[in-house]
Structure formats: C-alpha cells, structure tokens
Structure 1
Amino acid sequence: MPRQDEGKGVPSERIAQGIEEVIVTSQKRAASAQKTAISLSVWRGKELQTLGITNIQALTSVAPDVNILQNEGNAVITIRGISSHDVSEIGDPAVAIATDGVYTNRGFSFNSSFYDLDRIEIERGPQGTLAGRSAVGGAINLVTAKPTNRKEANAKVEFGNYGAVNSWAMVNIPFSDKVQLRAAFSSSYNEGYRDLGTSGYGDGANNVSGRLTLGLHPFKGFQGTITYQGTRMGGAGPVVYNSPYQFDASGNLITSIQPLPSGSLRHLDVPTRPALSSLDHALRWNFEYTLPYITLTYLGGYSTTNYSETNDSSSNVSYSRLIETWNANARPKTQNQEFRISSDQSYRFFWTTGVYYFKENDSLYSYDDIPVDGVWAKPLIFDYQTIARSLAWYAHGTYRILPTLRITGGVRYTWDEKTRSGSILFPEDSSKLPYNYIVSQNYGHGSWTKVTWHAGIEYDITSRNMAYFKVDTGYKPGGFTDLNAYNPETVRAYEVGFKNRFLNNHLQFNVSGFWENYTGQQVSQIVSNYSGGGAIINNAGSSRIYGVDPSLLLRWPEIGEFNLDFQWLHARFRDFAVAVTKPMADGSSSTVMQQFAGNQLPQAPNYSVGAGFSRYWRVPSGRVLTQIKTRFQSGTYLYFTNEKDSRQKAYTNTTALAEYFPDMGHWHAQIFVRNLENSRILTYAAENGYANAYAYSFAAPRTFGGAISVEY
C-alpha cells in the first residue's frame, strides 16, 4: 500500500469515507499525526507486509527521503543528508532507532522486528529533546502490534526467485478483559542474490524470529505489556566486492570510473565466502498508570546479541596479491530504562518530563584471516571490552494561548561516557607459524555533556489545516578509534510546515521547509596504518542543509488512491579540511591536506520522489487490488570525497503487485515484482585503502513471486 504519510490509510472500499486519522506516539504521547507539528511519515504494518518490506534496507523502496547503506552488515541510515558511517563498537547512529520506545544502538540489530507491526513512524530532523542523543538526523520508531480483546489469527507464505521462501504468522488470544496474549513469527530465506563461484553464494538470508507479547489490564487505569523476542539470522552473508585499484600511466589512482562488472551482477568474482550469524534475545516492557491528573509511564528493555560476520578483504593489485577475510565478532548487551510523568492534555498547559538511562557492554573479538602454508592464520587481532553509558533528563510542554494557537518548548540534559580497554595483537614475524604475537595494549575513555532544546509555535487555521514553526537542536557524542579521538557533533534545525485536508477529507497536502546548521559531523575515512589499515573519524567544520519535502495524497471513490512524495535537498560541506592518502601503483602513497567544502554530503541526493497508485476492482466472485509504487532518486555520492568511483547514478525502483480477495473464504493470493527495472543500486561504495581496492555492495536485484494468506 502507499505510504501512510501523516494519516494516509488503506486503499479499500472505505475510500468513500475519506482519509482516516492515524494516531502516533512520536512525541511521547498519543496524538493525531495531522495534529503533530513535525515532518512525520507513518507506515502501517499490514501495508509493509503487503509490499514485502521485511528489513530496514527494503524500507527505502517506500520511503523516498530515507537512504540506507550497508557497511559490514550494519545499516547506515540517512535522513535529510545526516548519517553516521562509524559502525564501530564506539560509534553511534545519527538516526535513533527504537522498537516500542526501546533504543537500538547497533546497525546489525535493526532488522529483527520487521513483522507483525502496528506501524513505523519516521521523524525527520533532529529530535534531541525527546528522542535523545543519537537523533541528529531524525528518529524511526517501530511499534509492534499489541494484544487485543479479539480472537484473531493470520498467516502468509511467499515464494519467489532465488529460492526465496518467506513466512509470517500471528495468533491473538484474549484470556479475559485483563489478560491477553499475542504470538507472532517470521522467517525469510533465499539462497543468495550473488553467485560467487567456488566461494558459494552471497547476499542471502536464513532468518527466523518469534515474539510473545503479554497484555495486562489488572485494574482500572493501569495497562502494560511485556514482550520477549528471539531472533536468529544467518545464511549467505553480505557481499563486499573489492575491485582492484586501477592506475594511470603516471601511477596515480584512477577515480573517474566505477570499475563494476558489466552485465548482470548475479556472478561476482569474490575469492572468499561471506557469512553472517546472529542470535538475539530481547525483553521489553511498558507500564502506564493513569491517575486523575497525570499518567505515570515506565518502559525499558534488555537485549543480548551474539553477532558474527565474515566478508572479503582480499587485495589484488600489482604489488600485493593476498587472499584475506575480515571477521567481526561482537556480543553487545544493552539495557534501556525510562520513567516519565505526563499531564492530562485537556489542560491549557500540558507537559511531559522524564529520566532516561542507557548502558551497553560489548565484547569484541575481530581479526583478519589469511591462508599461510595451507592453514588460515590471523595476522591482526582486536580484542576489546567496551562500556557505553548515557543518562538524561528531559521536559517538554505545550501552552494554549488561544484555542487555535499554541507554543511549545522543551529541554534535555544528556551525559555520556564511553570506555574501551583491550589489546591489538600482531605477529612478531609474519613468516613463521604459529605466530608469536606482540600485544599492544589499547585504552580509550571519553565523557561529554550537552543541553539540547526545542521551541515552536502551532496555529490551527481551520479544523483540518494547521501551520507550525519550530527550532530543534540535536547532539551525538564523540568517541575514539584505534588511530584518533573525535568530538561530538551538533545540529540546529529550523522548520516551517503546513498540514492540510481538503475536498471533504479526500485530499491531503502537507509540506515542510527546513534549514539546518550541522557542526562537527563525524566523517569516516578508511586509511592505511602500521597494522595494514583501519578507520579514522574526523570532525567536519560545518555543513549547511536545506530543502523542502511536500507530500500529497488523493483518495477518491471509484478512482482509487494516488500519492506523491517529493524532497528537494541541498546538503553541502561548508568547511571540511582533512588529510587524504593517495595510493600509487608502486605501493607507495602520499598524504595531502584537502578541503572538501562544497562537496555533497554522503547519501544526500538533490531529488527524491516517490509515487504510487492503488485501486480495488470488482471481478466475478471477488475483488482484485492492483498497486504500483515507484521511487526515483537523483545521483548521489556514498563517500565524502565525491569521486566518481563512489557515485550512485540516478535510478528508479518500482514495485508492482496484484492481490485477489474472494467474496467468500478467509484466504487471498498475491503476485508481485520488486525492483521491476532491475536497477543496480549501491548500498556501499568507497576506496578501501586496507584492501587496496574499490569496495562495493549492492541492493537486491529484481525479485518476483507469489504469496497466499489466510486470516481468521
């Protein structure tokens, strides 16, 4: 289905009733999306399942203003040009991701909850007051479906090319008005989109996840949920395709081409087998107690993950011919605790205040692996223990000056601390096996504090039209790599918006314009060092981001539903001077200072467009839903240098489907095609000084298939 942007509903025979309201909780309290003064998109869970959105990467096909890269199995999410490419154990995302309000810090954990959802809320722009420290670009909240007082069940099985078999199932059991249980299940499998020859397959999936949610209403005014979720992810791992560096006659690196294989990307020459394995256990809870004047809320969660990923790091240039893999192993344990008090919204002044605590313990053991004399040896090992803590207090309030005029304000104080201890091991003599390792002790520590704030004004022009203006600030803490320390980044954003319903609630038009000053952006760079290579994080001096993002939804009887979403974005470095290493054909290199002012921020296309049309048709003994949705994105760069070897060309990505619903029976059937154009879409592109190669990863190619569903 099309995007539920700030109130878009399900195209159906209810089209004659107009566009229904969608309730969101993005501002820590339930409110209509059309009455929430923020640029916000909402996607219903059933529509995401219909479209086959089973992971964070696939979300980009329906959310044109969200860009997502994959870096060593980690999702790098960009909203309005703001992202974080630091996927290390110390790094933080620039877009806050939460499931039922419980924050997720690691990019490899983002895909575990994409099933049996009530909705996904996407907030654009910094959300530092309510969402916290890692929301400089925006926030995404996955809201799972909760137990209800109605007996219901559904299941779906999907088959497709590349040996794909995906399934979803749910059952809801109300034991009484006070206790309900909801169980959900998801599995996904495909053999892999890339045939790597003797190395097997890559870019595949073999994932299973289950969720149990207990709903409690023991006495008047109290409601709560307790959720356990277990997820196992595996299969053919993400492919990193390293194309050997190419040099001109003078020995300089050629950056004016994209050295990708011609024709289909089904067959790639990758000498080692990628692999992915992850086991995740999560416990979440949310308790609310409503008193005469206030509501008390306590939510939180614990999670443990055992993550392992292997990808190719082989070098193949004139001065170095190596077979090599990078093996990342992490065991993060996280906890979230939040307690807040909210006043009744019926008062002239209503408010929310709370405290929040986050802690992550991570055990990291990652290493390079190379074949030496017929056995695999580890020439470089990282063995770390890390602890990250964050503590915050926040308050947010709204005051009604007039029944149609409101002012809003908020403040948040955040304290962050990060510590890492451990060692780097490398052989004393790499020619002798077994290795005798030299142990280099490594210790890092940093702490930061920051006050972020919000101020705004809202005006109801009519009961269905509103205007707002607001200013928000955001902050992301600093950190350190093996090579350097880096400072926090901050953003101040100005936004003006209008939200409108016309034509007796059949036409919705929303638009916002924004201007953001982005300071200290943490930019990741892959460099060579004494141990072979690594990542270094530099703070850009400043960036300027501005643009507009209008969206339109038309729902009309006998016609169907049409939606159009557009974003024009100007995101450029204003000051970013950094040392860049230039490799040479003879194996040497030179380091020069370079100013990148004027360059486009990574993953920040000038134009993004999403359009869709859907309609139900009467046929003998039933109805058929036809739907087509397409995304257009102009050319963009995936690396800060803006060289052509990291450029994603303009592309379109179209999904089309037809689904039959019989008049009698509990089943329906679907056929679909995704990425109809078979567009070559990069999910990663950079010059990798460690592998001496241009490194690339790719999104899914054209997929097609069918599905059968039952509902009771």
Structure 2
Amino acid sequence: MALGALVASLPSIAMAKAPADSGAVNEPQASTSEPAKAPAGEGNDVGEIVVTALKRAERVQNIPASISAVSGEMLAQRGIADIRALTSAIPNLVVGEFVGSTLITIRGVGSNVDSGLTEPTVAVYADGLALPRATMARLRAVDLERVEVLRGPQGTLYGRNATGGAVNFISARPSKELTGKVEVSTGSRDALGINGFVSGPLADGVYVRVSGGREKQDGIVKVLNTGQTLGGVDAKYGRVAFLLEPSSDIAVDLGLRYERDNAPVGYQQSINANRFEIANGPSVATHEPYKLISNNRLAGFKETLIVSGGINWQLSDALSLKYLGGYIDHDSYDFYDPDGSSVAFSHVEYDRASKSISQELTLIGDYEGFKFILGAYFFKEKANNIFLTTFESAHPSFPGSLRFGARARITNMALYGDIKYSVTSRFGLNLGLRLNHEDNDFNQFFATASTDQTVKATRLLPKVAATYEFSPDVNGYAQWSRGYKSGGGQFGQGSGVQPPYRPEVLDAFEVGLKSQFADRRVTANLAAFYYKYTDLQFLNFIPEFTTRIDNSDARLFGVEADFRFEATDHTTLSLAPTWLDGKFKDRVVVEPVTGIPYNLDGNRLPRAPKFTVSAGIEQRFDLGGDLFSELQLNGNVKYSSTTVLRFFDLNEFERQTGYALIDLSASVMDADRKTRLAAFVNNLTDKAVQISSFRTANGYYGNYGAPRTWGVRLSRQF
C-alpha cells in the first residue's frame, strides 16, 4: 500500500530540534526503523530505533506502549507490497479481505464489518491523514521511510479516534541534496514493475521529491472457464512532495499523491460445494482454493487522490505549533459474480466512494519534567456504499434488478490532550483526555424505499498511565485507556427500516516491561492486557440480499512478548509469541440461513487466534568485493493456531485451522551501498490460508491469502 504519499503531513514531531537535514512538518529524520548496525560494544540497533508514533522522536524502548516499526527498505527487500503482506513482519497483526475491503485486526481487536458505512476499528494513516474506508488500505508500499504500528486505543494522540490501534505509513521526505533511485522488478504470476524517485533542492529553502511507478501482476485466483485472473495488480501511481523553509523556525510541507489500480479484486470464491455445483455437477462451479468459475467477466478499479499541507512553527526550543490539513478523494468499483458459478443467476456492481477533508492543529511542549500535546481536530466526509444486483435468466426473480445501500455525511470534531509529568527522576504519570463529538447523517435505501437517520454522540475518552524506570535500559508501565467507534446507519432492506447500530466502546488495561541487557544486544519486551468491549459491532447476513450490523459485549485477555538477540555483529535472532483469549459475552443471534438462534456466549472473536508466534533470523556476510560487498539473508516463520472467521463458528468452513508460513529473502549490495539486487519468496510451502468466510443460501464464500509468491528487484541509487 504505497502509502508513500503525503511527505509533509504527519503531525508527529520531536520536541527536541530535528536534525539539520530534516525541517519537515511530518517528523524528524532521526532514524529509520532498521538503522545501520551499531559496532560491537556500542549497542544493539534495536535500542536505537527512533519513531514518532507518540508525536515525539523517541527510542522505541523508552515509549510506554506496545509499538512495532519496520523500515521501508526492509519492506521492499521482503516483498511486502501492501498491508495484506504486512502480517509477516508485525506480530499480532491479522488482515482479512472480502470483496475488495481490507479488514485489519490487532490483538484480536478489529472488525469483520464490510457493510453499511462503519469506520475501521484499526485506523490507517498516510503521513498523518486518516484513511476513513476499508477499501483505501491497498495503496502500494513504495517510497516509504517506515511503517509504525501502535496497539490499543489512540484517541488522545491522533486526530481521528482509533479503538484497536493505528497503522502509520510514513513517507520519505524531500532531501537537501540531489539523490534518486530507479528500481525494476519481476516475479511470479508474470509480475513486472518499475518505480523510482528524484529528490533534492530547487532553490534555497525549497526542496522537492518526485516518485512514481507502474506495476502489473496476474491475480491469485484463476477463472477456469475464461482464463481471467483476479486479485492481481495493474497499478500506476505518482507522488510529488515539497518542503519549504522560509526561515529556520518555519517549515511548510505540501504533498500530492495519485494512484489507480485497474485489477479486479472484488470476488466471492466458493469454499464449499455450493448449491449450483451440487445441482449441476463440478463443471459449473468449484470450491478449490484459488479457482473460480463464472458466467461473467469480472472487473473493477480503485482510485485515490490525496492532497495534504502542513506547517511546523518552532515557537521556541521547547514549544512548537503544528497544522495539518488534507483532502482525500477515493472511489472503489467492483463488478463480480456472487454465486461463483457459470449459471446465469445474478451479478453485482458494488460502488464505494468517499470524499473527506480534515484539519488538525497541535501544540506540543517539552519542558524539563513536563511534556504535553494539545490538539483540535475537524473531519468531514461524504460517503456512498451502493449495491446494484442484476438478476439473470436462472434466477427465480428474473428479470429485473435491485438497488440498495447507504449514504452518509460524517462530521467529527474533537479536542484532545496528553500530558506527561515526571514525579521523580524514575516515576512518571501520563494523563490524556479526548472530547469527541460525532454528528452523522445516514440515508438507507432499498429499491424505491428510503429512510433518513441522524446519529449524534459526545463522549469523553480518558487515558491514565504510570511509568517507572528501573534502570536506564529497563522500563515498566501500566495504562488504562478508552477507545470509541461511532454508531451509524444500516443498509436498507425490503422488510422495513433497520435501526442504527450502536457505537462500540473499548476499555483497555495494559501493563508492560521493556528491557535490554548485555550491552543492548538482548531485547526483551513483555505486555499483558485486558480489553472489555461494550457493544462490539459485527456483521450479520439478512437473506437474500442485504446485511445488518449487530452489537454484542465481549472481553479479551492477552500476553505478548518480543525478544531480539544480536548473537554476533552479523547474526540477529528474533522471537515474538502471543497468547489471546477473546470471546463474546451473552448474546443471542439468529443464524440467518437456517433461522436457528445461537447464544454467542463463549464463542471466540473473529481473527483472534489463541496462539501465534513469529520467529526470524538475519545473517549478514562481508564479501569484500566492489560489486558484491555485502550479502544479507533473512528467514521468517509465522505460526498461527486456529482462527475463527465467522462468529457463529459452526463448522470447518467458518474457521482456518492452524498453519505456518515461511518467508525467505536475500539481497546483495555493492561497496557504496547504492546498487542492490534483492530476491524473496513468501509462503514458501504454498499454503492456502483462508482469511474470510461468508454464508448465503447458496453456500459458503470467502477469500484466501496469497499463495507462494516470489520476486526479484534490482535498484540503483544515485
């Protein structure tokens, strides 16, 4: 997801002065998340990772929160092109996908909702601008400085409230010296790509970065009777970023990004013997992974325009004022065959459009023993979510069509603050508060019927945390925070008006310990958490066409660890195990296909596997030559226990059993580190992992994660 956009937007900055080559509004150029290895005896590079996730440049080990960070260089080397593949690099991150939407879960907190106009539970940001819809998360991951992932509610630090966490894609910024890079790539499924950037000064105090690319790759699903492939890439993208420094205390950032992907990614793949296959035989339908039969040629596109502007005014050495404004225009269109067969039953056109503006003003102070962030935020969005189902000759309702869906006008305003006070040299307190106001208008429609609804809510969302420094390299913290996700309007249905779904509230309790030993060669971070859900939003199906969002209480316990050991100057080992126990509380829901009521009490939450573990090894070799100077090898294994995909959890089609995925990558560089040849293979054993499940009267439908994928990249920097 090439959220390499908007170089100037992230309102995350250091209170300390940024390095001389920075000056950008979005954040200081303190370090990438995968910096050069420290010499022996000078500490593990992990301890020096600097992020701006909490709007200050801080070492990851000093931040009282659970944060993961990966550099853009490492993402490219491992063939991680968008957020769907990011799960192999970020522990406790699970991504599902259905009909073109990306459904993100962190620590079991996420959403299976791809209906109505619900907000994402995990917020995704492009340089500080919130991407409000689940169809926006597939932007290409190019020209990135790094990606940062925060776990838990983030309402006192970010303009758009986030219940389950935040994924921040941070772009590379314009440089003050002329530089650039060209990269070509190829790989499995006839992949071809070219991208690059040029960056440098235009005049004194004026700097620019221009990047772009073109990528094509056949899809992972083949339509057997037409030869078409689905779920691939046919993308073109470009970005322009300016950095203006009219004085030493003021920096202005302007960004423009555009991307269009014409590959069809919306489809419903049958995952069991559906009724068409049973009635007519296997010639009309298939339920094999990565295969589909259809009587229609599928199509679709995603198009996104992002415009941003920011100002950073350093009022003094300890005080700065930030402004960030943005405009996002997004359209997603999918034409697909919902029955997954060659029978002329029906086809669907699914159009999802969003236009939004946001304005954010932040005052950040950093005084000895006292730090604060004060912010004001305004967000407004116009969004449509429209289905057009056309019945074909074999459908009992033939002929005709049905149009239904929902429209929304979303307005969010907030005041937020986050204060840190050092009570002693070791003990500190952190208090945060968000005053959040939603004023949203919804229109649900079904055929010729239409209903307007308004949802208003004002909430106070607090955070209380305490920190203690046991030693310079051992820090502990305890925190309680409250997350909030607004309610809203449903899709229309033929039997009458659906009432709005309720907002969901998450109370998150967490304790953690961050530590380093052996001259920072060993890192051991631990966290335990308890999440209490009130009115968790989840998706239910209403036969035969539409859906409904229901609410239920839930709770979640979890323990996670992150270990890293720099065994030698050339060998690094990592291990990240997680245990989760997330379950619904007492709630009776009718299974829509059978009409049988089920009590969900004790059922596991979707996309919250009980146990996951990620393990990796990085080995570097000094080759000594000019052309082949350094070889780097990486191996990563991720294991997940059984994952529930549909909350009823009735049978094997509603869950994915335990599985392991193996990713390998290698790269070789020349002596000046400007030429790199990298190769990767992901999902080495070609495991078909089911990532979604949806039941209709025709059978079960869903998606699978990517099969074995390999690629080679050659880049030259100047």
User: Please, what TM-score do these two structures have when normalized by structure 2?
Assistant: 0.88
* Change in 2 beyond 3 A, CA 1:632/1:166: farther
Matches within 5 A, 1:471-486: 471-481=480-490, 482=492, 483-486=498-501
Residue 388 of structure 1 pairs with residue 443 of structure 2: no
> How far has the Cα of 1:378 moved from its partner?
5.2
Asked if 2 retains the 8 angstrom alpha-carbon contact of 1:237 and 1:310, the reply is: no
Matches within 5 A, 1:100-249: 100-131=127-158, 134-176=161-203, 178-199=205-226, 200-243=228-271
> Residue deviations 1:675-703, cap 9 Å, x none?
101011122112134xx220111111101
Match of 1:642 among 649, 652, 665: 649
> How far has the Cα of 1:629 moved from its partner?
1.1
* Change in 2 beyond 3 A, CA 1:177/1:121: farther
> Residue deviations 1:564-593, cap 9 Å, x none?
11111111112222222243xxxxxxx333
CA distance, structure 1, for counterparts of residue 331 and residue 33 of structure 2: 38
Per the alignment, residue 410 of structure 1 pairs with 432
Residue 612 of structure 1 pairs with residue 616 of structure 2: yes
CA distance, structure 2, for counterparts of residue 191 and residue 678 of structure 1: 17
Matches within 5 A, 1:313-462: 313-314=338-339, 322-343=344-365, 345-372=366-393, 379-382=401-404, 385-421=407-443, 423-425=445-447, 439-462=448-471
Asked if 2 retains the 8 angstrom alpha-carbon contact of 1:11 and 1:615, the reply is: no
CA distance, structure 2, for counterparts of residue 567 and residue 373 of structure 1: 49
> How far has the Cα of 1:246 moved from its partner?
6.3
CA distance, structure 1, for counterparts of residue 672 and residue 570 of structure 2: 24
Match of 1:98 among 113, 118, 125: 125
Matches within 5 A, 1:627-706: 627-644=634-651, 645-663=653-671, 666-689=674-697, 692-706=698-712
* Change in 2 beyond 3 A, CA 1:676/1:346: same
> How far has the Cα of 1:87 moved from its partner?
2.5
> How far has the Cα of 1:238 moved from its partner?
3.7
Asked if 2 retains the 8 angstrom alpha-carbon contact of 1:16 and 1:557, the reply is: no
Per the alignment, residue 510 of structure 2 pairs with 495
Q: Which residue identity does 2:457 align to in structure 1?
A: W
Q: Which residue identity does 1:240 align to in structure 2?
A: Q
Q: Which residue identity does 1:659 align to in structure 2?
A: S
Per the alignment, residue 315 of structure 2 pairs with 291
Q: Which residue identity does 1:687 align to in structure 2?
A: R
* Change in 2 beyond 3 A, CA 1:377/1:176: farther
RMSD, aligned CA: 2.5
> Residue deviations 1:268-303, cap 9 Å, x none?
334433322122111012211011252111012101
Asked if 2 retains the 8 angstrom alpha-carbon contact of 1:25 and 1:31, the reply is: yes
> How far has the Cα of 1:127 moved from its partner?
1.8
> Residue deviations 1:510-536, cap 9 Å, x none?
1111111111000101121xxx32111
> How far has the Cα of 1:168 moved from its partner?
2.8
Residue 534 of structure 1 pairs with residue 546 of structure 2: yes
CA distance, structure 2, for counterparts of residue 11 and residue 323 of structure 1: 58
> Residue deviations 1:347-387, cap 9 Å, x none?
3222111111111112444301233499x975111365421
CA distance, structure 1, for counterparts of residue 536 and residue 353 of structure 2: 28
Asked if 1 retains the 8 angstrom alpha-carbon contact of 2:262 and 2:302, the reply is: yes
CA distance, structure 2, for counterparts of residue 681 and residue 422 of structure 1: 35
CA distance, structure 2, for counterparts of residue 706 and residue 176 of structure 1: 37
> Residue deviations 1:461-510, cap 9 Å, x none?
11111111111110101112123321111011111111112111211111
Asked if 1 retains the 8 angstrom alpha-carbon contact of 2:268 and 2:340, the reply is: no
Asked if 2 retains the 8 angstrom alpha-carbon contact of 1:90 and 1:418, the reply is: no
Asked if 2 retains the 8 angstrom alpha-carbon contact of 1:11 and 1:614, the reply is: no
User: Please, what TM-score do these two structures have when normalized by structure 1?
Assistant: 0.89
> Residue deviations 1:87-135, cap 9 Å, x none?
2352111011111111111111112252111111111112232236641
Per the alignment, residue 511 of structure 1 pairs with 526
Match of 2:630 among 623, 634, 637: 623
Q: Which residue identity does 2:479 align to in structure 1?
A: K
CA distance, structure 2, for counterparts of residue 658 and residue 244 of structure 1: 38
Residue 34 of structure 1 pairs with residue 61 of structure 2: yes
Asked if 2 retains the 8 angstrom alpha-carbon contact of 1:76 and 1:84, the reply is: yes
Asked if 2 retains the 8 angstrom alpha-carbon contact of 1:155 and 1:170, the reply is: yes
CA distance, structure 1, for counterparts of residue 470 and residue 690 of structure 2: 44
* Change in 2 beyond 3 A, CA 1:239/1:323: same
CA distance, structure 1, for counterparts of residue 372 and residue 479 of structure 2: 17
Residue 545 of structure 1 pairs with residue 556 of structure 2: yes
CA distance, structure 2, for counterparts of residue 684 and residue 271 of structure 1: 23
CA distance, structure 1, for counterparts of residue 379 and residue 714 of structure 2: 42
CA distance, structure 2, for counterparts of residue 332 and residue 420 of structure 1: 14
Asked if 1 retains the 8 angstrom alpha-carbon contact of 2:189 and 2:218, the reply is: yes
CA distance, structure 2, for counterparts of residue 33 and residue 619 of structure 1: 32
User: After alignment, is 478-487 or 519-528 more displaced?
Assistant: 478-487
Per the alignment, residue 563 of structure 1 pairs with 574
Q: Which residue identity does 2:207 align to in structure 1?
A: Q
CA distance, structure 2, for counterparts of residue 63 and residue 610 of structure 1: 9
> Residue deviations 1:393-429, cap 9 Å, x none?
111101111122110101101111221236432xxxx
Return 5+ residue gaps in structure 1 as ranges.
Answer: 1-5, 252-258, 426-438, 584-590
* Change in 2 beyond 3 A, CA 1:11/1:32: closer
Residue 309 of structure 1 pairs with residue 313 of structure 2: no
Residue 465 of structure 1 pairs with residue 474 of structure 2: yes
Secondary structure, counterpart of 1:597 in structure 2: coil
CA distance, structure 2, for counterparts of residue 524 and residue 397 of structure 1: 37
Matches within 5 A, 1:7-26: 9-10=34-35, 17-20=42-45, 21-26=48-53
CA distance, structure 2, for counterparts of residue 323 and residue 149 of structure 1: 60
CA distance, structure 1, for counterparts of residue 51 and residue 487 of structure 2: 31
Q: Which residue identity does 1:287 align to in structure 2?
A: I
Asked if 2 retains the 8 angstrom alpha-carbon contact of 1:573 and 1:597, the reply is: yes
Asked if 2 retains the 8 angstrom alpha-carbon contact of 1:89 and 1:362, the reply is: no
Per the alignment, residue 601 of structure 2 pairs with 597
User: Percent of aligned pairs with the same residue?
Assistant: 24
Per the alignment, residue 587 of structure 1 pairs with none
Q: Which residue identity does 1:653 align to in structure 2?
A: L
Aligned length: 664
CA distance, structure 1, for counterparts of residue 696 and residue 144 of structure 2: 38
CA distance, structure 2, for counterparts of residue 559 and residue 339 of structure 1: 44
Secondary structure, counterpart of 2:75 in structure 1: helix
Per the alignment, residue 710 of structure 1 pairs with 716
